[in-house]
Amino acid sequence: MAKLFFTLFLLVGFIPYLGATDKAAPQILYLQLINFISGIFVAYQFQRSDNKQTFFNSINTLPFQAFFFFFIWALISVTAAINKVESFRILTEVYTYLMSFVFLLYFTKKIPRVSTFFINLMTVLCCIEIFTVTLPFLNDLFKEGSFMFRSSSYSGVTGNINIAAFSILVKLPFVAYKILSSKKIFTLINAFLYVTIFFGICSFFTILSTRGAILGSIILGILTIVFFSYRFFIKQIGFKIFAKRILVIVSFFVLNIFFNGVVNANQGTGNYADRIATVGSTEDGSSQERIRYWKESAYSIFENPVFGIGIGNWKIVGIDKEEDNLTNYVVPYHSHNDFLEITAETGIIGGVLLYLSILIPLFYLFRSFFKKEKSEADNLYFFVFLAITAYLMDAFLNFPFARPIQQISLLSILSFSLWLLRGKGQKLKLIQFNRITKYQSILLVILFPFSVYSAVRLFNSSQEQYYLLGQFNTNTFFIPYDELMDYETTYPNISSTTIPLKTFQGLYELKEKNNPEKAIELFREAIPSNPYLKINESYMGYAFYKLGNQDSASFYSKIAFEKQPSNPTHFAHYMISLSMAKDTLEIKNAFNKVKKYRNDEIIDKIYYLAMSDLLDKDENRSVIGNANKSLLDSKDDRLKASLYILEFGKDQVFEADFLYKEGLDLFDKKDFVNAADRFKRAAELNPLELPYFENAANAYLQYSNYEKAIEMADYVIDNETKPTGKAHYIKAFVFIEQGNKLRACRLLSVSAGYGFGGATNLSRAYCR
């Protein structure tokens, strides 16, 4: 039974989303179920005193005690949290891991021939994960002739390519151990395992192209070569065995480099070296973001060294530190370094306690390499050391503490490590803690029902958030009103994107029910859950605008804009309130401020739409002078209309549009003379609208007014920023009519080069 329970814990990564927005929610609930069943089984076995003693001895170790007191310290850190509800949500996860650690430690001691079982189990799981990543990739490669770069369809059982990569990397040392510790390396089983490792490394280099895993696999490979070199030169293992092992290790990487080069040459994507080079690059956007998060976490530790900011609250406090860089509601949910994030949340004591549970076994494993006696058991110590090192590399670059598949893998490896190091005697055991462990066990049992209740509510909320976030991202309201109002908004009180759950209800009231008063009430209630995101203040400003309350609209929308000026929603709501107040000076000031952070069409569009509703021709000549000419090529008709109004005034723009439509109607009736007149007059009123000139040129061509046709076509050619080739085509027709074949063919060639339809065929027929 111990083998079965141990295996069930490690299958947590295979639990699917089950309708939740976050895969961790059903996985934590699954672990709670396994903990419950394990608890009943262990309690039944307490009838025998030797089993009871085994249980208490299992948790009477330094690593477990460090983890236990980390949980206690994290609980204390809740007092410093801005969002205490979110702290208790994360504490549910910590408690679940702690209970899982208890049972993994116990079951490790109850499994006969545990080394063989554990290594085989990790090898099987690793093989499954590798082939669930590899098979879709190979299917695309051979059937389609190409593959999708870093596609989520290659994420295997984990649902995320980064999690998949490091989950494989943590388990890969055990597969390597089976090959490299075998007396006969070249066997059928080893050949299968060799292919497995090849595809495992291939998943890092080519399929998933995860920079951290690529770098991690190279570091683990170098450490392995150093280890066997040490054993060869210092402990005098045979040269033949040494050479075979080094050859196997080097061949993994040589073959993968070759495979990666061939695949990426055909695919046209960057190679693995390019990916590695961006890990610490200050020019790579992802690396810049990660480095910022690290610095901000470090500053937070210096500011709150004792109790931190509260377990689980980095995702909220990080918003305040990143406010100038938030372009939407995608927040720094993790700092991409568990060492820094957990220390920032729980203080230096909390960070030290958590990582002592990992570093203590790692230290003793490392010390075992330098024993004077020669032993093949050194190999196992070393490869367990590599597995823990792989986790630590993941923790340095990512956030495995929030990923149940990674955390349970780590806890199982630590449990196995403590079994391996059992010969270290009292160095890893605290005899004086015998009585305390009993009280700890009682406390853990008392907390269990609360933890299960919490996990169930969190899972149900995660399922609801799947629909809420879909509704928010698509701006559609498909959830029935009564059902939405019954959704969980108090525990948890924020979504997986940190948007308060009451905010979604407020948006429904504002946009779907057109009830701004009720929306404002819900937005106010939502603010304390995440006071830094400012989504509630922004939409409160918009709600007050709908109520016609100019002062409140400006007040709240300005708060949101000033805190997060890069967010286009905040900018738009602030522009609306300023338009309401007809404050053109502040509109310009706000526009200049936001341009310091971002320079894209959406910001220009919001600005010019706001200005065009306020200004007419005489007031705004300076405004259009600042416009990017490329905006005139936008496919957004509202944006172009705003720019035209800013330049010429509403009356003139509308008159030009009326004449243009008259011209189209006359052209369809073959009245080319009058059509040309309407197009020409429209063009004179709005010379920024180049289609007016193109249509005038075409109309002049139809009744052989070649001089005017060329004049109009030349205007378009001289002023368009993104040529379409149509004006060149019309001008070519003029020269064809005049018998100037050389000039006509040159223009047809240019028109065809710009992709204008018909130019190529006409050129082939006329210019042969």
The pLDDT assigned to 594 comes to: 87
Alpha carbon distance 109, 91 (integer Å): 27
Cis bond before residue 568 (omega within 30° of 0):
no
Alpha carbon distance 258, 425 (integer Å): 48
Percent share of the chain, pLDDT over 70: 86
pLDDT tens per residue, range 256-285: 777 766 666 555 555 555 545 554 444 555
596: burial class by Cβ within 10 Å (0-12, 13-18, 19+)?
Answer: exposed
The pLDDT assigned to 623 comes to: 45
The pLDDT assigned to 618 comes to: 42
Alpha carbon distance 386, 413 (integer Å): 11
The pLDDT assigned to 626 comes to: 46
Helix (H) or strand (E) holding 553: helix 550-563
The pLDDT assigned to 373 comes to: 54
Beta bridge partners of 429: 61
* Side chain identity, residue 618: D
Residue 413 scores a pLDDT above 90: yes
Note whether 353 and 73 are within 8 A (CB).
yes
pLDDT tens per residue, range 498-517: 999 999 999 999 888 889 99
Beta bridge partners of 61: 429
Least confident of 25-29, 178-182, 673-677, 696-700: 178-182
φ and ψ at 145, to 5 degrees? Answer: 80, 5
The pLDDT assigned to 520 comes to: 95
Q: Which residues of 415-430 are buried (b: 16+ CB within 10 A; e: fewer)?
A: bbbbbbbeeeeeebbe
Q: Average pLDDT, stretch 70-81?
A: 96
Strand boundaries in 87-150, DSSP class E: none
Alpha carbon distance 532, 538 (integer Å): 12
Residue 636 scores a pLDDT above 70: no
pLDDT tens per residue, range 361-392: 999 888 877 665 555 566 888 999 999 999 99
In 3D, which of 107, 124, 86, 85 has the Cα closest to residue 34?
107
Measured CA distances, 236 to 370, 377, 393 (Å): 13, 15, 31
The pLDDT assigned to 617 comes to: 45
